[in-house]
Amino acid sequence: MSVTVNSYDKGMGRWEPNARGRLEQAALKLYVERGFEQTTVAEIAKLAGLTERTFFRYFADKREVLFWGARAFKEVIVSSVAAAPETAAPIDAVAAALEAAGEALQVRRDSVRQRQTVIVANAELQERELNKMGSLASAISDALRERGVKDLAASVTAEAGIAVFRIAFERWINEDGPGDLPQHIREALNELKAVTAG
């Protein structure tokens, strides 16, 4: 039998509804307004109506607020690639996975947009973001090999998928209104198929 232990049970202080979300919103607001470097954890906690201690229960540091979703993002993609029908072509397995990830970003558009503003303004954060995309390409490539796709085909498909995603993301994030990231992903993939067609 397993018992769910929340922070209240653990005696880690008063349970706060949606503390992670409130901290994230407060942090993004301050990072955009004042800059990432200039914002302190104390200010984030204060704006969220929480304590610094609560902040550190959810995030290792200021930077983690921007990157905690990366693991889940990668898992969505990798597990979608793995779960694609056996008959699906590698590029279509990757496309479906990227669309699923795109849908997850679509519903968080405002936060994603704020996050992007913060990252673009800071070289160190950009570096981490680039590394994240590189590690995502490797993970996709591994997932394809698990499906029996050969090395070169797996690498090429994964990198092409990331290229498609990056272009679609860029178009979506710079668009007014809510936009439609999964649709941009489909369009960019179709364009890739068109430009590489013999």
Helix (H), strand (E) counts: the chain:
10, 0
At 171, which helix (H) or strand (E)?
helix 151-173
Give the Cα separation of 197 and 25 in Å (integer). 44
Could you give the string, one character per residue 62-101, with x where binding to a second copy holds by CB under 8 A and - elsewhere? ---------------------------xxx----------
Which of 130, 135, 146, 178 contacts a second copy by CB under 8 A? 130
Binders of a second copy: how many residues, by CB under 8 A? Answer: 32
Which of 46, 62, 171, 186 contacts a second copy by CB under 8 A? 171
Give the Cα separation of 37 and 2 in Å (integer). 42
Q: Which of 193, 136, 60, 7 is nearest to 144 (CA)?
A: 136
Q: How many other C-beta atoms lie within 10 A of the C-beta of residue 55?
A: 23
Least distance between a second copy and beta carbon 62 (Å)? 19
Residue 5 within binding range of a second copy, rule CB under 8 A: no
Q: Which residues bind a second copy (CB under 8 A)?
A: 89-91, 123, 126-127, 130, 134, 152-153, 155-157, 159-160, 162-164, 166-167, 170-171, 187-188, 191-198
